[in-house]
Chains A and B, each alone.
Chain A
Amino acid sequence: MPDVVLQIEDLQKSFGGLRAVDHVSFDVEGGQLLGLIGPNGAGKTTIFNMISGIYRTDAGRILFDQTDITNHHPTQIAKLGVARTFQVPRTFNHMTVEENLMVPVVRLRLTDAEASNRVAATLNAIGLYDMRHRNASELSGGERQLLQFARAMMTQPKLMILDEPFAGASPAIIDVIIERTHDMAKSGVACLVISHDVVSLPKVCEHVIVLTEGSVLTQGRIEDVREDARVIEAYLGT
């Protein structure tokens, strides 16, 4: 049996009267690439925020590597090996591209030479090497997507959760993100990807979970799910 990295059990979250996440359960295995799709407001980002400890859960459990991390602090969860990106890219805007990638490396306790080698290698791998001295605030939206993706990658996580990694990115950048995501999965990292991009997502994931109004509608292979009448209805409305 492949090792389960993330277990979501009966997760719930309401905002006032709104049930944003309603009895959601699923697992992600090491090296698995799993998609999380659903219409706007389905609760996808809310699930991510609970996994990374930013929102408190109302009920349910989140297990990472067999450890209960429900409602743990974001710092602790990140230290255990969960990395994430944000739907609206977050970068350190008053720091250079290179410094942005230096920050996660601080925690790895490398020598100066090792650290700068690793940052340079990543900069090359994502094609931002020539921009390394630019301030992050000067980057385009797509470049900032790439930068926050690379920054999360630098933490050497066991689980990577990507919230709309392709939004606002050009095909070239999307290709880089897809490639690097596959590399990570090959080395055993579990990846959970939220995306509305019907072209790019199938290039990353074979399996998806479909969420509507806070609950899992269905899950399975992406081609099958796309044919599902309930999914079409959820996306197009009635």
Chain B
Amino acid sequence: MKISSLWGYLGAGLALLVLLLVPPLADNHYITAVFVSVLLFFILAALFDFMLGYLNIFNFGMGGFMALGAYTSGLLTHHFGISPWIGLLAGGCSTLLLGLFAGVITLRLRGIYIGLTTLFLAEFVLFALSNLREYTRGAAGLQVSTFPDLFGISFGRGDPLSLYYLLFVICVVIYASLHFLVRSRVGLVFKAIRDDQLGTSVLGFNVVRYKLLNFAVASFFTGVVGAFYGNYIGILVPTTQEFGISRTTEILTIAYVGGRGTLWGSLLGAFALIGLQEGFRVIDEWRLVLYGAFLVFVLMVFPQGLAGAVKQLAGWVEARFTGSAQQEDPEQKASTGPAQDGPEVTPKLPDRKVP
């Protein structure tokens, strides 16, 4: 076994231990709530990075996509008595459809255009949810019922620990799927497209189809997370704070702080930012300012995010203890390039000068 993959197992083991053991040992509603936030932001940031870090797709509508998932589940239960368990999948499916629609109309474009279109779509979703008051109750708020017991376990809001573990399972499933995809042949093509779209096309790959696949997977899971979130908070209000651009900005910040193109970096990002936010509760309205400052700080000190810093540290320790030269991880490099290039804004393929 290569030493560098040992680090991966070590890190994963440590993360699992902390996530599984700290909330029950602390046995404290506040700590559990903080850990729920960490997991929620971790998985949303990982989904964001799955699109941005691997295919340069900016989804500025994450918040609205979540809202659709949450409301799908909430409304199905409210109006048709459908179980919130089924609502998790239904939320995923409706968001998948929104994602496919957004994808079909935007994925031929690049960078900033996709970002703008997803943002407009998400704003439209929020607008519709606020205005269809007969169904959604608009700003008055939609009551969301709790998950019914499963295997004799209660998932009521009085049992935050079981809700936490439910979210944990959801996160493991999503993370494992993304990890598997990124490591597969499909993931290889994702990275090729990120590096050079035209270069990938002339090898016979349908770039739009790969982007659509990536976007559809991310949208589905975003909807599932949204549906869980709705059940967790218990009342849905279609505000911008909850589901608008500021939510997306938080997710984006965590993804960047974690390190672009490294899914697990989002966990570090989530711990860092949620921790920071909890530490400075008093300045709640200034949250985004704090986020911005932290983002700038981290990216100046560690251009590859916290994940890059951890990799450097691991490499350094490895070199110290084995006396060998630092092994370079290709993925670490992968996260530098596109991040520095920024969003690609070259609009049309045909006019591109190919010397």
Contacts and interface: CB of A to CB of B under 8 A. Distances in A.
Interface string A81-116: 001101110111111100100111011000000000
Interface residues of B, number: 30
Contacts of A91: 196, 199
B204 A155 contact: yes
A137 B204 contact: no
B334 A103 contact: no
B279 interface: no
A131 to B, nearest CB: 13
Interface in A101-156: 102-104, 106-107, 133, 135, 137, 151-152, 155
A90 B196 contact: yes
A192 B333 CA distance: 35
Interface residues of A, number: 35
A230 B124 CA distance: 65
B201 A90 contact: no
Contact of A94 (B195, B206, B349): B195
A74 B198 contact: yes
Nearest to B200: A103
A54 interface: yes
Contact of B330 (A99, A151, A155): A99
B327 to A, nearest CB: 9
B352 A90 contact: no
Contacts of A94: 191, 194-195, 330, 333-334, 336-338
A70 interface: no
Given A54-B354, A92-B195, A135-B333, A103 B202 contact: no
Given A92-B192, A99-B330, A135-B330, A75 B350 contact: no
A49 interface: yes
Contacts of B337: 93-94, 137
B185 interface: yes
B205 interface: yes
Contacts of A84: 202
Contacts of A103: 188-189, 192, 200, 203, 205
Given A74-B198, A90-B199, A92-B196, A133 B191 contact: no
A164 B355 CA distance: 10
Contacts, number: 96
Contacts of B191: 92, 94-95, 99
Nearest to A92: B195
Most B-side CB within 10 Å, residue of A78, A92, A135: A92
B355 A78 contact: no
Tell which of B195, B196, B203, B337 has the most Cβ of chain A within 10 Å: B203
Given A93-B195, A93-B337, A95-B191, A75 B205 contact: yes
B199 A92 contact: yes
A52 interface: yes
A19 interface: no
Interface of B is mostly: helix
B218 interface: no
Interface string A6-41: 000000000000000000000000000000000000
A83 B203 CA distance: 7
Given A54-B354, A78-B204, A107-B204, A99 B188 contact: yes
A106 B333 contact: no
A156 B44 CA distance: 40
B203 A56 contact: no
A79 interface: yes
A212 interface: no
Nearest to A157: B204
B193 to A, nearest CB: 9
Nearest to A54: B354
A102 B185 CA distance: 9
B205 A54 contact: no
A103 B203 CA distance: 8
Contacts of B198: 54, 74, 90
Nearest to B337: A94
B207 A55 contact: no
Given A94-B333, A137-B337, A75 B201 contact: yes
A54 B355 CA distance: 12
Top 7 closest pairs, chain A to chain B, by CB: A78-B204, A92-B195, A94-B334, A79-B204, A74-B201, A90-B199, A94-B337
Interface of A: 45, 49, 52, 54-56, 73-75, 78-79, 83-84, 86-88, 90-96, 99, 102-104, 106-107, 133, 135, 137, 151-152, 155
25 contacts: A49-B354, A54-B198, A54-B350, A74-B198, A75-B206, A78-B204, A83-B202, A86-B199, A86-B354, A86-B355, A87-B354, A91-B199, A92-B191, A92-B195, A93-B337, A94-B195, A96-B330, A99-B188, A99-B330, A102-B188, A103-B200, A107-B205, A135-B328, A152-B203, A155-B204
Interface of B: 185, 188-189, 191-192, 194-196, 198-207, 328, 330, 333-334, 336-338, 349-350, 352, 354-355
